Amino acid sequence: MPTLVKEGKFREDLFYRLNVITIDLPPLRDRGGDILLLAAKFLERFSRKVGKEITGIDSEAAGILRGYNWPGNVRELENIIERAVILTRANQITGVDLSGLSSPLSETTLSGKIAPIADVEKEHIKFCLDRLDWNIGLTAEKLGIHRNTLRAKIKEYDLTRQTQ
């Protein structure tokens, strides 16, 4: 912040008004022990909020959480756990529930094939639709796209609901 003041990008008077105490907090990726503690707290909160009895995080999911870089820090972890609680159909969060996160240099990543982005998008949309019981509105919301965009992707990729 002092650098921004010197560069004229931040008001000096405002900096001194706000700079009562400086706390240096390392990023979440450097606080490996905190990741699972925070994840457990978020899991408890969101399980209660959603009304599910989720007992914990399995070892595969724990490894993925510990191995992830966390560029969004605690807020990203909170969002990931909330999404996993909503999407899971099990009584524990598993690696499958953490879609989008992967442990760096995991066997899956190293042995996996490089696929065109359209194929990856198609599979992810299909996965999300199936997990959310083909609820178009909720799936679009979770994917961060408009429901019309989702409908267009379903048509483009010729996705169909599997009946059981």
pLDDT for position 133:
84
Distances (CA, A) of 146 to 46, 98, 133: 25, 22, 18
Residues 70 and 119 in one domain: no
Residues 61 and 87 in one domain: yes
pLDDT for position 130:
84
* Mean pLDDT within 27-45: 90
Interval 8-26: pLDDT, tens: 888 999 988 888 888 888 8
Residues 41 and 92 in one domain: yes
> Which residues, at least 6 apart from 60, have a Cβ–Cβ distance to it below 8 Å?
94, 95
Element (H, E) at 123: helix 117-131
The two structure tokens encoding residue 102: 């992967």
Residues 107 and 133 in one domain: no
Interval 56-110: pLDDT, tens: 999 888 888 988 888 888 999 999 999 999 988 889 998 888 876 754 433 333 3
pLDDT for position 112:
52
Number of domains in the chain: 2
158 vs 164: CA distance, rounded Å: 19
Residues 106 and 123 in one domain: no
The two structure tokens encoding residue 107: 């066997």
Interval 119-146: pLDDT, tens: 888 888 988 888 888 999 989 988 889 9
63 vs 57: CA distance, rounded Å: 10
93 vs 115: CA distance, rounded Å: 27
Domain region containing 118: 113-164
Q: Is residue 23 part of a domain?
A: no
54 vs 92: CA distance, rounded Å: 5
Residues 128 and 148 in one domain: yes
Domain's final residue, options 75, 95, 112: 112
Model's pTM, two decimal places? Answer: 0.54
pLDDT averaged over the chain? 84
Residues 70 and 128 in one domain: no
Q: Is residue 80 part of a domain?
A: yes
Q: What count of residues does the chain have?
A: 164
Distances (CA, A) of 150 to 34, 116, 145: 36, 19, 7
